[in-house]
């Protein structure tokens, strides 16, 4: 059975992606499959011009969106990247929460948002200032990589390992288990932090590249549902989005 990413993940309205192990890959995989998609951020984002039809650098995102939409009627392609400023050669800044919310209000297509950072790690827990999710978000996708399981809980693979340890009930330096990943994904101090009460929450276990990864990912999903006392996670998607492949969708 083949499952397309846009059939497994949220694709309507304002969709925020958080966590580690595939946020940007998720954004770009969806953006290039959806009609009239916008990619933006509420935090810093690496240069992504090669992943969209065009990046508009403008302090006024709604004005930039309107100009692009007008140009699109003349044949300009989507998806559109929107950012306020280029901070340095390798990254852009993100908009504040109100700016992204205004884009979503003004746009008739999906707005896909990078809403926290992870410094290229496979797994993370947020700090006190993260994630930057607008209150009007329609969906939040917390991401973790299957490849972190079995690795030591250090900053070599994990962003903010001390916070992961506190949430998961393990010690820094311990081997990361599937249960620990699931607990963090389902925690309101972890993957569900900042998710609006009426937003959809869909966890993504990424980098499921082979049968061993799939077995690990299924353990993560089971642990996430077991830890999700409030029943906030709607489903867990197992995927290798670097290959644009969804392995399975596990419903709550």
Name the phi and psi angles at 233, rounded to 5: -80, 120
Q: Mean per-residue pLDDT for 78-100? A: 96
Enter the CATH code of domain 7-251.
Answer: 3.40.50
> Are 15 and 40 spatial neighbours (Cβ–Cβ below 8 Å)?
no
* 3-class secondary structure, 250: strand
Domain ranges of the chain: 7-251
Band the pLDDT of 79: cuts 50, 70, 90.
Answer: very high
> Are 193 and 158 spatial neighbours (Cβ–Cβ below 8 Å)?
no
Q: How far is CA 233 from the centre of its chain?
A: 14
**Whole-number pLDDT of residue 71:** 82
The alpha helices in 32-90, defined as continuous H runs, are 61-72
Give the pLDDT confidence of 171-226 residue by residue, as tens digits: 999 999 999 999 999 999 999 999 999 999 999 999 999 999 999 999 999 999 99
**Whole-number pLDDT of residue 74:** 67
The alpha helices in the chain, defined as continuous H runs, are 5-8, 23-31, 61-72, 97-106, 161-168, 178-185, 211-227
Residue the block writes with tokens 């397309």: 4
Q: Are strands 233-240 and 38-41 parallel, antiparallel or unpaired?
A: unpaired
Give the pLDDT confidence of 118-153 residue by residue, as tens digits: 999 999 999 999 999 999 999 999 999 999 999 999
Q: How far apart are CA 59 and CA 72, in angstroms?
A: 20
Q: Mean per-residue pLDDT for 35-64? A: 97
Neighbours of 122 (CB within 10 A): 25
pLDDT at residue 86 greater than cutoff 80: yes
Band the pLDDT of 1: cuts 50, 70, 90.
Answer: low
Structure tokens at 248: 């399975």
Average pLDDT across the chain, whole number: 96
pLDDT at residue 252 greater than cutoff 90: no
Q: Mean per-residue pLDDT for 59-81? A: 89
247: left (phi over 0), alpha (psi -120 to 50) or beta: alpha
Q: How far apart are CA 209 and CA 222, in angstroms?
A: 19
Confidence (pTM): 0.96
């Amino acid at each position: 059975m083949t499952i397309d990413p846009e059939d497994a993940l949220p694709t309507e309205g304002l969709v925020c992606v958080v966590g580690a192990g595939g946020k940007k890959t998720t954004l770009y995989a969806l953006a290039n499959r959806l009609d009239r998609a916008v990619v933006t951020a509420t935090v810093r984002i690496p240069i992504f011009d090669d992943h969209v039809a065009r990046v508009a650098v403008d302090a006024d995102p709604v004005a930039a969106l309107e100009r692009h939409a007008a140009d699109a009627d003349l044949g300009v392609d989507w998806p559109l990247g929107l950012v306020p400023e280029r901070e340095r050669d390798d990254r852009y800044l993100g908009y504040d929460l109100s700016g992204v919310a205004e884009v979503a209000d003004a746009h008739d297509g999906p707005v896909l948002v990078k809403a926290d950072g992870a410094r290229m790690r496979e797994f993370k827990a947020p700090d006190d200032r993260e994630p930057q999710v607008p209150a009007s978000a329609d969906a939040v996708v917390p991401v973790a990589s299957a490849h972190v399981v079995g690795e030591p809980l250090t900053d070599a693979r994990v962003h903010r390992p001390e916070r992961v340890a506190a949430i998961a009930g393990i010690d820094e330096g311990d081997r990361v288990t599937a249960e620990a990943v699931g607990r963090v994904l389902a925690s309101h101090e972890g993957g569900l932090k900042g998710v609006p009460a009426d937003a959809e929450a869909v966890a993504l276990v990424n980098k499921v590249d082979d049968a061993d990864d799939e077995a690990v990912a299924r353990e993560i999903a089971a642990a996430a549902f077991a830890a999700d006392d409030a029943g906030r996670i709607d489903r867990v998607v197992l995927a290798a989005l670097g290959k644009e492949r969804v392995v399975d969708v596990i419903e709550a």
